[in-house]
């Protein structure tokens, strides 16, 4: 299988300016001015404290064609930021993104625009992703027109029909506004819009978390079916591992901006190596009262991505934490065929 996307050491740091309360004066000399009336004004040299939010901090992975990758982790671990970096909706701070052998971070905006035809994005909340003043028809037409994908009106109309049918909606939906649709229908429209350009890669940011279970199940079903028909590769973000299980043969687990474990889904579920993955899996409730699992618990809450702990990022919460974990950050190493883990327990 050909590699479609490679990330090398991708990093995104945000600069957080301090708020009013966190103003700190520097050691420089206070500024002294004389007002027009001759009064001396002393103003201390003030700077606002700046801090770095390590949203994505050195992520390396590759996605093979047709092999969907699931990206899981708690909220605030940088999943969405990573996804937005992949399609360059935000500029990464460092690293490389190779899409089909081409470093897309080197592309100029016009070339990048052309590239976006091949990589599409579906946002988390379908209600915010559709322009409220546009008819669904206009919403779906936009990408088709933008990239001149059809010639003539009849071709456009038949393409719209095809798209709306693809996601299992009826043709009447085209002349409705987003407010007339249910959440599930809106998410289908978002999917249709993403697929309008026949993308090779589609990044789906929590496509089901804003939906009811029964509606979410149908969307997941649709995703599977669409892949069979169109052969698009997905990167599926979720905080719920059970959603990923259905569509993705490979999963990467993210914690505080880093990939801590990645591998084939069955390996990950049956022999999760990283303590964080184990905790994450054990926290997922099984809809069966006969199965009660022992829960692996982590201490406390995730630390803030501003003040990262020294060494392994999980070390303050991990029950296996050793001396070495608090000093040295573990690298992602191959455990066995295609199963990678970043943990000192496995580094010899």
Partner 1 sequence: MHSGEEAGHLLNVDALSVSFPLFEGTLHVLDDVSFTINRNEIFGLVGESGSGKTVCALAVMKLLDPPGRVVGGNAWFGDKDLLRLSEREMRNIRGSKISMIFQDPKSCLNPFMKVGRQMSRVFRTHSAMRDSEAGEKAVEMLSKMGIADPKNIQNYYPHQLSGGMAQRVMIAIMMSCDPDLLVADEPTTGLDVTTQSEIMRLMRQTCTERGTSIWLVTHDLAVVAQNCDRVGVMHAGHIVEIADVHSIFRRPLHPYTRGLISAVPRIDKKIRSAGIPGQVPSFLNPPAGCRFAPRCTIARDQCLSDKPTYVQVEPGHFVMCHELK
Contacts to partner 1 by CB under 8 A: 74-75, 182, 212-218, 220-221, 239-243, 245-246, 269, 279-281, 283-292, 295, 297-298, 300-301
Return the number of the residue (218 or 326) whose C-beta is nearest partner 1. 218
C-alpha 39/C-alpha 82 separation (Å) is 54
Decide the pairing of beta strands 233-238 and 69-72.
parallel
Q: Shortest approach of partner 1 to residue 72 CB, angstroms?
A: 9
Work out how close the CB of 318 gets to partner 1 at its nearest, in angstroms, rounded to a whole number.
13
Rounded least distance, CB 257 to partner 1, Å: 16
Structure tokens at 40: 């001396």
Helix-strand-coil split of the chain, %, nearest 5: 35, 25, 40
Spatial CB neighbours of 300, under 8 Å, sequence gap ≥ 6: 316, 317
Residue 285 is given by DSSP the state P
Place of tokens 């671990």: 77
**C-beta of 172 vs 295, nearer to partner 1:** 295
Question: In the bound complex, what is the minimum distance in angstroms from residue 245's beta carbon to partner 1?
Answer: 6
Q: Which helix (H) or strand (E) holds 23?
A: strand 23-25
Nearer to partner 1, 31 or 224 (CB): 224
Smallest distance, partner 1 to C-beta of residue 283, A: 4
Given the complex with partner 1, which of 87 and 238 has the nearer CB atom? 238
Residues 6+ apart with CB under 8 A from 37: none
What backbone phi and psi angles, to 5 degrees, belong to 262?
-150, 145
Nearer to partner 1 (CB atom), residue 144 or residue 298: 298
């Amino acid at each position: 299988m050909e590699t479609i996307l490679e990330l090398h050491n991708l990093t995104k740091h945000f600069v957080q300016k301090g708020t009013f309360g966190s103003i700190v004066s520097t050691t420089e000399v206070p500024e002294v001015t004389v007002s027009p009336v001759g009064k001396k004004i002393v103003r201390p040299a003030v700077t606002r404290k700046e801090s770095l939010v390590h949203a994505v901090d050195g992520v390396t992975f590759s996605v093979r064609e047709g092999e969907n990758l699931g990206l899981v982790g708690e909220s605030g671990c940088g999943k969405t930021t990573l996804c937005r970096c992949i399609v360059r909706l935000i500029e990464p701070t460092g690293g490389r993104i190779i899409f089909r052998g081409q470093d897309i971070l080197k592309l100029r905006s016009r070339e990048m625009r052309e590239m976006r035809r091949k990589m599409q994005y579906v946002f988390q909340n379908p209600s915010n992703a559709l322009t409220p003043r546009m008819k669904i028809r206009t919403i779906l037409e936009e990408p088709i027109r933008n990239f001149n994908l059809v010639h003539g009106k009849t071709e456009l109309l038949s393409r719209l029909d095809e798209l709306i049918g693809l996601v299992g909606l009826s043709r009447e939906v085209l002349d409705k506004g987003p407010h007339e649709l249910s959440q599930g229908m809106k998410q289908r429209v978002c999917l249709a819009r993403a697929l309008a350009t026949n993308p090779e890669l589609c990044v789906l940011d929590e496509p089901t978390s804003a939906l009811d279970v029964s509606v979410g199940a149908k969307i997941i079903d649709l995703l599977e079916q669409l892949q069979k028909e169109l052969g698009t590769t997905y990167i599926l973000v979720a905080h719920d591992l059970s959603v990923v299980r259905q569509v993705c043969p490979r999963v990467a687990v993210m914690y505080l901006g880093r990939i801590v474990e990645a591998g084939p889904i069955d390996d990950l579920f049956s022999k999760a190596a990283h303590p964080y993955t184990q905790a994450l899996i054990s926290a997922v409730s099984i809809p069966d009262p006969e199965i009660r699992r022992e829960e692996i618990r982590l201490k406390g809450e995730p630390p803030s991505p501003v003040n990262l702990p020294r060494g392994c990022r999980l070390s303050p919460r991990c029950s296996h934490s050793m001396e070495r974990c608090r000093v040295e950050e573990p690298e992602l190493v191959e455990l066995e065929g295609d199963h990678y883990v970043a943990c000192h327990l496995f580094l010899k």
